[in-house]
Amino acid sequence: MGLHRSTAGEAMNENGRTPYDPHAFEPFAVTVDLAVFTVRESRLHVLLIRRGQDPYAGAWALPGGFILPRECAEDAARRELAEETGLSQESAAALHLEQLRTYSDPDRDPRMRVVSVGYTALVPGLPEPRGGGDAAHAQWTPVGALPELAFDHARIIADARERIRAKLEYTCLATAFCPPEFTLGELQQVYETVWGVELDRPNFRRKVLASPGFVEPVEGAPRRTGGRGKPAALYRAGTATTLHPALLRPERRSEGERSE
């Protein structure tokens, strides 16, 4: 970490001041930005807010905000997540939240030096969730129809999508998109939506059930109907976090595949 170099060509102190005085060097603002995803109507959506303040005022942006003096980045992200989804702290604590990467381009904010820690959150397909205090400023937007975004937020969303795509293969992440109890059909929809492919249901079923700890049946359970068709058995997320064997996505398409 910082303040521990003593070789030649010193990085700090290039303004001649000692680095031990908190106000001596040019300060950095440190924020968190959240890419909150959900699956609705077989499409991947991301939560956007409309900016009120000036740089990019009126533009869409990711929710986020400052890290407080006594907060770690994860706490700040969790706090923002609760505020922006309108959930209680307790409900938000159960959501999947993971650090993505940090964005530090010196020009990413025109006002001053702002370093932002990006987070990815996954929420179940709540019927119509909206923001906390300000009810209408947050909105689910299909990732295939993103507007122009403030700052480098388009990049953050792209990075987050790529991360999610990859992690579905070898982790149990997909259950984070599902409500506490779900059917294998719903779970499959998550995969198909995020990957943009169709999967063979019998094979999908076998692979999921063969992965120890991925899902566990809700025993003696009522069976939920999704309209027509045979009622499906319910499952809940298991205890495993990684998948063995992995659930590989089909066809190694050349690269592209950005359609949504």
Q: Considering only residues 50-89, where is the footprint of a copy of itself by CB under 8 A?
A: 51-53, 55-56, 61-74, 76, 79-80, 83-84
Q: Would you count residue 7 as binding a copy of itself (CB under 8 A)?
A: yes
Residue closer to a copy of itself, measured from CB, 40 or 79: 79
Task: Select the binding partner of residue 202 from a copy of itself, DNA, none (C-beta < 5 to 8 A, by kind).
Answer: DNA
Contact 65, 149 (CB under 8 A): no
Check residue 210 for interaction with DNA (CB under 7 A): yes
Among residues 91, 104, 203, 225, the one that binds a copy of itself under rule CB under 8 A: 104
| Consecutive H or E run containing 2 | none
Cα separation, 48 vs 59, in Å, equals: 10
Q: How far apart are the C-alpha atoms of 73 and 76, rounded to whole Å? A: 5
Can you tell me the distance from the alpha carbon of 202 to that of 200, in angstroms, rounded to the nearest whole number? 6
Binding of residue 186 to a copy of itself (CB under 8 A): no
Cβ atoms 48, 138 nearer than 8 A: yes
* Angle at alpha carbon of residue 159, lines to 131 and 245, rounded to 5°: 105
In this structure, are residues 62 and 121 in contact, taking their beta carbons and an 8 Å threshold? no
Q: Pick from 10, 14, 89, 223 the residue near DNA by CB under 7 A.
A: 223
43/101 with CB nearer a copy of itself = 101
Closer to a copy of itself by CB, 12 or 184: give it. Answer: 12
Site track for a copy of itself across 109-128, x = CB under 8 A: x-xxxxxxx-----------
Q: Is 213 within 8 Å of 201 (Cβ atoms)?
A: no
Interface with DNA (CB under 7 A): 183-185, 200-203, 205-207, 210, 223, 225-233, 245, 248, 250
